[in-house]
Amino acid sequence: MTRVGALHADQAEMSDRPTGLPTSSSTLPGLIVRMLHLLDPDEQDHVLDVGTGSGYSAALLAHRLGDVQVTSVDVDPYLVDVARERLAGFGRTPHLEVADATGALPDTHYDRIIATVSVRPVPPTWLEALRPGGRIVATITGTSLLINAEKHPDGVVRGHVQPDPATFMRTRDQADYPPRLDHVYHAARDQQGTETRRLVGPIPDLWADWELRCLYELDSPDIENRSATRQDGSQLLWLLATDGSWARADSESRTVHQSGPRRLWDDLERVRDRWTAAGHFPLHTMTLELAADRNTLTSPEGSWTFEL
């Protein structure tokens, strides 16, 4: 992590205790290289790098393609300025610009778009700016789904989820992200729910079982989950929503408590049961279609479609 809330590590003192959420980080170099291999740009391609960050991906692209072929954008003016200085220090001068990449782009035509911030849906401006035959490599917000898709002559961008998971911070247009749902968690932590029923089966580990977590996020976006393990090994899982809905599953008491306008645990069970009935298909077998008015992910044989 290189930035928490509005405070960047370059500007922080040892005594600082910044509030807010992580808002910038240095991406694992191996992941950047893997994504660039998926992008597979030719020397004549004009590439948009979304999420300048440290400038690492822009540096690799500029070295491979030449400075004039690379445009890199970030919403954070400080990151853009420092990356520009850092790259110029070893002779690289790609075009760097401050921009909210979900809106207007610095140019209207690109052959390749790579993003180290996550999006949902893929912004229409990206789809419009991508030339036919062009390619997008990005991740879906709230999931670990890395996508690789190509623009076809009919204007639709089609592709697949990749086998290896990858997670990036979501796009933002403010200095920080909205705060976590602590107020909902305080209500859900140990209170009786308006509905209580018996827990059936084990509590899923939504961190380790990233495929189930991704399917649940695709089905029910923006559900915050928190977990805990007691000293005796029993587990707790909380599901929290912005509308005040919550669920708590407790493996010790074998109970599920739920409150609010939505039944979050029921949604999770429905997704898990449907995935089980579908044979736990690997997520990289899902196909992707991106159009200006509709983004979809579809399971094998077309039995399950998610709107992004």
Give the catalytic positions in this structure.
26
Contact criterion met (CB below 8 Å) for 219 and 226: no
Ranges of H-type helices in the chain: 29-39, 56-65, 77-88, 124-129, 182-188, 210-219, 264-277
Residues 6+ apart with CB under 8 A from 96: 52, 55, 58, 71, 72, 73, 74, 80, 83, 84, 87
Contact criterion met (CB below 8 Å) for 23 and 176: yes
Tokens of 246: 């919550």
Enumerate the β-bridge partners of residue 49: 72, 114
Contact criterion met (CB below 8 Å) for 261 and 245: yes
